[in-house]
Amino acid sequence: MGFDAAEFDAAEFDAAEFDANRRYRLHERVALRPEPFGALAYHYDNRRLNFLRAPELVTLVESLGEHRSVREAFDSAGLDQSRWPSFEKALASLAASDFLVAI
Amino acid sequence: MTDTAVAPTTPPDTATGSAATALGVPTTAKPHSLVLSPVKRSGLAEQLKAGLDAPICLTWELTYACNLQCIHCLSSSGRRDPRELTTTEAEAVIDELQRMQVFYINIGGGEPTIRSDFWHLIDYATDHGVGVKFSTNGSRIDASVARRLAASDYVDVQISIDGADAATNDAVRGEGSLEVAQQAMKHLHNAGFKGFKISVVMTRHNIAQVDELEAMAARFDAELRLTRFRPSGRGADSWYQLHPTEAQQRLLYRWLLDRPEVLTGDSFFHLSALGEPLPGLNLCGAGRVVCLIDPIGDVYACPFVLHDEFRAGSVRDHGGFQRVWQHSELFAELREPQSAGACASCGHFDACQGGCMAAKFFTGIPLDGPDPECVLGHGEPLVDAARSARPSLALDHSRPSPVKLLARNHRAART
């Protein structure tokens, strides 16, 4: 297709570099397009595409900067604790491709 | 600088063993299962098959004019079409793409840099939030252009070649064309442009050179992009001599599995019938998540189906591109669930999706039949018989008298 869907896997980013106790925000050069599955994200600087595959993930990503830490954002969003690990992994992947930046 | 479509797909949480649910992943997914298992991707893939309000990205061929005459050109390019979109019309298309939030486009041709307003349109797109990757044969990328490109964050470049050595490359693209392309690579490299793409269509003759191609990309700080050769455009004839053998396809599959960093545009999904799926969405995106705008504004389902059967409309029609994308009958049909047809009895349809629509269409195989390059051997027996059912090529912008190019022999054979 016109785009290259080389997906990240565990070997390609170090999840340990992501710290859920820190504050993150969406990179200012990232745009989100709402989609039924969540959102399509595009990074104008590194020209990567990203699928945010849950509507809750989109809301969360947009609000990250308003919270002192990722975990606080989870809590504030009322996200069920059983879903925290998978959301954390998704955010770690986004941070690894520079869609999120630590502040 | 990679343009990867990255699904933030992650393994289920290993600490708790719970399944990943944030990513649209069924809760039945096995803990510790492979990151890229097809089961986990299927939720997204199924949604994408039904189409989106706007394409994820699209290919826009700005001109049919080309200073090369490659024997496999998917758009049969050569001569400029007098009906080409004007600068004002092209700007209006970009405005529309911005409104639809199409974040980036692949610009090609022909040789797009031949258009006198090429650099203006690139700037216009990036100024309007539409990122650009353009494909070129490199002939217009001199040192100063390379510096300008290196200074822009929003433009990516893809240099096309067809072999690691001049003999292999030039047999397809014309004499001296590899040297020209490598000069462009040198200029980009010297200008500090990291991560531009070196794009190669896999043929019977270059598929054994993948290691050399990989080394070439590394030498120029570039990324290798390998894509599947489709029998489109002038490739409809040269395919019979150039397409990879089944044994070569199997080797390529292993090679790609070992190198998830090599870009493929998801074009080898038919190889996934061999086992573990290759990275990517493994689906045909034609009219669902991608499409093509040709130089005169006609909209086709994908870059490989420049034929009336797959023409959905024109950006010049009332309602413009958006109306074509959202309301054309053709695209609505492509977004319907597709039948497995003749492939229903094979256990691998879920993996290969029956292969590539364009490959079937231009070899005369029914669209619900097997891919002519089906890796399980279901397509090959049909190829000869189907040859008489091939569609005629209505769109041909080939130059009438190609000069000094090896394509001459091929053209002589066609006429």
Interface residue B15 vs chain A (CB under 8 A)? yes
Interface residue A14 vs chain B (CB under 8 A)? no
- B3, A48: Cβ pair inside 8 Å? yes
Taking CA–CA distances from A82, the nearest residue in chain B reads: B18
Chain A hits for B15, Cβ within 8 Å: 85
pLDDT of B28: 32
Interface residue A16 vs chain B (CB under 8 A)? no
Taking CA–CA distances from A60, the nearest residue in chain B reads: B22
B163 in Cβ contact with B70 (< 8 Å): no
Interface residue A39 vs chain B (CB under 8 A)? no
How are beta strands B131-136 and B104-108 bridged, if at all?
A: parallel
Give exposure, B135-165, as e/b (b: 16+ Cβ within 10 Å). bbbbbbbeeebbeebbeeebbbbbbbbbbbe
pLDDT tens, A31-60? Answer: 999 998 899 999 988 888 888 989 999 999
In angstroms, the Cα distances linking B241 to B70, B152, B238, B328, B374 are: 14, 40, 6, 36, 17
The Cα B4–Cα B225 span in angstroms is 11
The Cα B107–Cα B158 span in angstroms is 10
pLDDT of A33: 95
Question: ∠ at Cα B245 (B239, B246), nearest 5°?
Answer: 130
Chain B residues 58-97 within an 8 A CB cutoff of chain A: 58-59
Local structure of residue B401 (DSSP, 8 states): S
pLDDT of B19: 31
Residue B373's contacts (CB-CB under 8 Å, 6 or more residues apart) are B243, B244, B246, B249, B270, B355, B359, B379, B380
Peptide bond into B347 cis (omega under 30): no
Chain A hits for B35, Cβ within 8 Å: 7, 9-10
- B21, A12: Cβ pair inside 8 Å? no
How are beta strands A100-102 and A24-26 bridged, if at all?
A: antiparallel
- A92, B52: Cβ pair inside 8 Å? no
How are beta strands B298-300 and B311-314 bridged, if at all?
A: antiparallel
pLDDT of B152: 87
User: What ipTM was estimated for this complex?
Assistant: 0.85
In angstroms, the Cα distances linking A57 to A37, B3, B40 are: 10, 22, 17
pLDDT of B403: 46
Sign of torsion over alpha carbons B185, B189, B190, B194: positive
Query: Other CB atoms closer than 10 Å to residue B241's CB: what's the count?
Result: 12
- What is the token pair recorded at B304? 């490989």
Q: Give B197 to chain A, closest Cα distance, Å.
A: 11
Coil, strand or helix: which one is A35? Answer: strand
pLDDT of B394: 73
The Cα B72–Cα B358 span in angstroms is 14
Interface residue A53 vs chain B (CB under 8 A)? yes
- What is the token pair recorded at B226? 């390998």
Q: Can you give the pLDDT of all 415 residues of chain B as single tens digits?
A: 333 333 333 333 333 333 333 333 333 332 222 233 333 445 788 888 988 999 999 999 999 999 999 999 999 999 999 999 999 999 999 999 999 999 999 999 999 999 999 999 999 999 999 999 999 999 999 999 999 999 987 899 999 999 999 999 999 999 999 999 999 999 999 999 999 999 999 999 999 999 999 999 999 999 999 999 999 999 999 999 999 999 999 999 999 999 988 999 889 999 999 999 888 888 899 999 999 999 999 999 999 999 999 999 999 999 999 999 999 999 999 999 888 999 999 999 989 999 999 999 999 999 999 999 999 999 999 999 999 999 987 789 998 865 444 444 444 444 3
Residues in chain A, total: 103
pLDDT of B242: 97
Chain A hits for B226, Cβ within 8 Å: none
